[in-house]
A = this chain, B = another copy of it.
């Protein structure tokens, strides 16, 4: 749980009672590669923190598996379009590499917002930061070529490329596996 509290502290300091309250609504999950942490059609009521391993959000578009995002160690993962709207998600969370996950009960968390303004503030900041990343990602998708995006990923998070199957990387970049192969061949 230490990692999670350190992660929180980078956004917002919490009084000890608030830390304790959060800790009490968390549970540890150990889960193996290729298993789904949450499945398609399920309404998201949990926010996950990846302590070890890698997770990804994916969904099916015309029968093809599309990766929306990766979450390596020390990151938060949640299907926000379901969490914030209360509607079922068309997306699933899958474990890409054997993982230890901390699950935060979002229903209880939102109740804590009333008791601990610092917790509401903490998660406001966490999701503001995620929002900014998403806005930047749009720019990257829309106005950089597939090769530029691959190189950027290589530079920003080289360990993801080494630890995740190429087909997931390809769909994350918005291209086919074939195109990614060509790009890789070109670079060398």
Contacts and interface: CB of A to CB of B under 8 A. Distances in A.
Interface of A: 61, 66, 68, 80-81, 84-85, 113, 117, 120-121, 123-124, 127-132, 134-139, 141-143, 174
A127 B131 contact: yes
Contacts of A130: 131
How many copies make up the complex?
2
Q: Is the interface of A mostly helix, strand, loop or mixed?
A: helix
Nearest to A123: B124
Given A142-B174, A143-B174, A124 B134 contact: no
Contact of A138 (B61, B123, B128, B141): B141
A143 B84 contact: no
Nearest to A144: B61
